[in-house]
Copies of this chain bind each other. A is one copy, B any other.
Amino acid sequence: MKAALAQINPIVGDLKGNAKKIKEFISKARDMGAGLVVFPELATTGYPPKDLLLKPSFIRENIASLRGIIRETGGITAVVGFVEEDGGLYNSAAVIRDGELIGTQRKTHLPNYDVFDEKRYFKAASEYRIFEAEGLKFGITICEDIWVDGVLCTNIAEKGARFIVNISASPFHAGKLGERDKLISTRAKTGGVPVIYCNLVGGQDDLVFDGGSCVFNGRGELVARARRFEETILVTDLVRGKIAPREEMIEEVFKALVLGIRDYVLKNGFSKVVIGLSGGIDSSVTAVLAREALGKENVLGVFMPSKVTSRESFEDAKKLADNLGIGFTVIPITETLEAYLKTLSREFRGTRRDATEENLQARIRGNILMALSNKFGYLVLSTGNKSELAVGYTTLYGDLAGGLAAISDVPKTMVYELARYINSHREIIPRRVLEKEPSAELRPGQKDREDIPPYSLLDPILHAYIEENKSIEEIVALGYDEALVRDIVWRVDRSEYKRHQAPIGIKVTTKAFGSGRRMPITNRYRG
């Protein structure tokens, strides 16, 4: 039997569009000679539909859309993720063939951690059924089911299944493919039957689904894998197939960010983005990602100098824009800053210059980008990295302004890795950008290191605190200076209010700020 893995990129809430796409892929699979075609988890609704699931009309229309799909299944068996209603909601797979619904398999293990809220919406399955395609028996698991349940595949195999299907919507983080491979291989080997794993692809707000759908045989060996980060169909006989090459870690992060940007912009009805280019590494990397995602004609870089902006910054920003072939314009902020300071002079009389004046500069830049967005329909990409966002080294309504924070889950040290990866064939980001010391350029001669700990120390401490939930004591035990650790933890905790108002950012680590990390703002705990 030939099986097709339909690794589709649906749009959340687009019930009609998703159904149309599913029908097209069923037709494609049939044309390619497949007897079975498998779609990802919640293919009809897109993932995660979140509180759309609380709207009864949405559930009804999702079921109506499945009915339309059922009519298109002449001569082929399809497994399609949808929302089932039966005295409550179930995250289910429909097995359909020749215009008939053969049956459904409900999800048993509902993830309710990190970005997942499935217990908010769904009830759990109570049984496993065996289905058949071209005379071969098979069982179905849904995403989490295969991760947490060690005996499930064995149980299904013992019921006579000759292979196991898993339909997933598994969000990307760096290194996840390796984890998945190991897991699926183990499950296939333990059950002694092939596993067909079909994953969603595409960006959805903060999440990127990386695809990489695959088949492992009953000895736990990889026999086929679809390309990642793109919509595609993979046909295999469960014994052999094409195996798309596996990316290096930094390459997969790059591809995930590009897909995340492209889908956020296009799925939200925008086509072009505007980016504040400072001549620094964060905005440079963001511009490269945006160009890759949307094409050079859809990216505008805006350089917004003040009196403290260096000549080098202008040259670097200009050269980057030239290298990328993107639009470039210069809008100085000096006069506007003077107008603010004049307007505030009575209130500020007798006070000293402090972060207020620096924030004003950042906010003028944010306003200018938003004005261009309002007037011409650009989406603003903000350019802050994870390290800055973690310690609050960022201005609310200033550099934090934007529709999407492209690299807000990328630690500064990884931003440099991305820049080196980008430059690996030719110099796209001017070399000086990688070599000069990071600076916010909000006061004369300013350097990041005057304001925050060096990134080489900051990033591993942030990783231990945020991704590993380690306490101050435990981080100090790793060999870091206690005062430094306390200072960083204090900065992270007191910046919660800024992150609460930050734009959506694309998750590429195991713990991103955003929907997967829910910290109180009012919080006296330090540790």
Q: Chain A: residues with CB nearer than 8 A to chain B?
A: 11-15, 17, 48-52, 54-58, 61, 112-113, 117, 119-120, 203-205, 263-264, 267-268, 329, 331-333, 335-336, 338-340, 342-344, 347-348, 351, 354-356, 359-360, 363-364, 366-368, 370-372, 374-375, 396-397, 401, 403, 469, 471-474, 497, 500-504, 515, 517-525, 527
Contacts and interface: CB of A to CB of B under 8 A. Distances in A.
Contacts of A525: 12-15, 52, 55, 58
A360 B371 contact: yes
6 contacts: A52-B525, A55-B471, A55-B525, A356-B371, A367-B367, A515-B518
A397 B368 contact: no
A55 B527 contact: yes
Closest 3 CB pairs of A and B: A13-B525, A57-B471, A14-B524
A12 B119 CA distance: 25
Number of copies of this chain that the complex holds: 2
Contact of A354 (B57, B347, B375): B375
A264 B497 CA distance: 12
B355 A374 contact: yes
Give the interface centre of A268, A363, A525 by most chain B CB atoms within 10 Å.
A525
A474 B14 CA distance: 20
Contacts of A112: 112, 117, 119-120
Given A339-B336, A359-B371, A397 B366 contact: yes
Contacts of A61: 527
Contact of A11 (B332, B472, B500, B524): B524
Nearest to A13: B525
Contacts of A354: 374-375
A339 B340 CA distance: 9
A58 B527 contact: yes
A263 B522 contact: yes
Contacts of A340: 336, 339, 364, 367-368, 371
A15 B267 CA distance: 45
Given A13-B525, A52-B525, 17 more contacts: A12-B522, A52-B519, A61-B527, A117-B117, A204-B520, A263-B522, A267-B522, A267-B524, A268-B497, A329-B347, A332-B343, A340-B371, A344-B372, A370-B396, A396-B401, A497-B504, A500-B504
A521 B120 CA distance: 19
B343 A336 contact: yes
Contacts of A57: 471-474, 527
A264 B364 CA distance: 28
Contacts of A473: 57
A517 B51 contact: yes
Contacts of A504: 497, 500, 521
Contacts of A338: 339
Given A359-B371, A518-B117, A522-B204, A397 B401 contact: yes
B348 A370 contact: no
Given A14-B525, A474-B57, A518-B50, A335 B331 contact: no
Contacts of A521: 205, 268, 504
A523 B367 CA distance: 26
Contacts of A264: 522
B332 A523 contact: no
Contacts of A119: 112, 119
B520 A13 contact: yes
B333 A520 contact: no
A501 B51 CA distance: 18
Contacts of A503: 500-501
A525 B403 CA distance: 20
